[in-house]
Amino acid sequence: MPKDEERGRVRIAIAQVSTKIGDVESNREKHIRYIEMARKEGADLVVFPELSLTGYLMKDVAYEVPKRCRKALEEIKEACREIYAVIGFVEEVRPGIIRNAAAILGEGEVKCISPKFYLPTYGLFEEARYFMPGDPLKDVKVVHGRFGAFGTLICEDLWHPEPAEALTRLGAELLVCIASSPLRGLNTPVDGRPWIDHAWSSLINATALTNSVYVVFVNRAGPEDEEFFWGGSRVVGPEGIELLRCRGMAEDFRTCDIDLTENARARRFSSFRIHLREFHKILSKI
């Protein structure tokens, strides 16, 4: 157990990596290397991007990787006896029924599996063609680690307020969003950065601010097929202030120290405590 003066202090490691489509074995080895790097840096938690074990643009290959993903997780968990890790993978829930999911590993075991709820199917995205969405009534899960409670969101989930609010009200002190966000708006920059960076900044900062909670966003970086992923992973504090940002367009590895007790201080000056359920009743009927 941590000492009283250390309670709430967490070192986060961001593994902003590029992965190979369908090459679970090669991606597994990369995860183990980065987990060891994070452990040597004294990190409590290391976070990888969405579908980090498989690559993102798999199409029908998505049906071929679940068993290999499970085998890889069983091997990776052995490297997670002294550190927690969030890893993106493909989960098979029934024969031929698969989900885009995040595995939380720690203390040498798989602590939790959280699926993606909102599946983008527009533009280049075809997720609903392959994946089954998570069920909010069963799949919203908070993990109580040695350093505190945290929960995961997957990419599009952060574009909707409900998953983040649900996790926070269930006790998550830290929200971890893993993503595979491709580059968009390079020719329409905002403040010198691609539009997609501006869009994510708005979402992450607002989520942290309205829920008075730390948010860790880890996006992949580098090329895959005909797309390019822009990186830009970051940590944002409970007042919506960015504390750390990884570089854009390339792999990166960085650590950030945070203090989860800051959430309580931020909530003294927010309306987080107020939740009008009646709005959800109206929305459920529209």
Q: For residues 49 and 221, what is the distance between their CA atoms, to the nearest angstrom?
A: 9
For each of the domains in the chain, give its residue range(s) and CATH number, in order of start: 7-285 (3.60.110.10)
Tokens read off for 216: 């860790």
With b for 16 or more beta-carbon neighbours within 10 A and e for fewer, the 116-133 pattern comes to: bbbbeeeeebebeebbbb
Active site residues: 50, 116, 155
Q: For residues 174 and 259, what is the distance between their CA atoms, to the nearest angstrom?
A: 10
Share of the chain above pLDDT 90, in %: 91
Q: For residues 208 and 122, what is the distance between their CA atoms, to the nearest angstrom?
A: 27
Please give the chain's pLDDT, 286 residues, in tens.
454 446 689 999 999 999 999 999 999 999 999 999 999 999 999 999 999 999 999 999 999 999 999 999 999 999 999 999 999 999 999 999 999 999 999 999 999 999 999 999 999 899 999 999 999 999 999 999 999 999 999 999 999 999 999 999 999 999 999 999 999 999 999 999 999 999 999 999 999 999 999 999 999 999 998 899 999 999 999 999 999 999 999 999 999 999 999 999 999 988 888 888 899 889 889 9
- At 265-278, the pLDDT tens digits run 999 988 888 888 89
Number of alpha carbons in the 13 Å side-chain half-sphere of residue 161: 10
Number of alpha carbons in the 13 Å side-chain half-sphere of residue 229: 29
- Please list the helix, strand and coil fractions of the chain in percent, rounded to the nearest 5, in that order: 35, 30, 35
- At 151-186, the pLDDT tens digits run 999 999 999 999 999 999 999 999 999 999 999 999
Query: 76, 115 in Cβ contact below 8 A?
Result: no
Identify the three-state secondary structure at position 26. Answer: helix
pLDDT at 6: 64
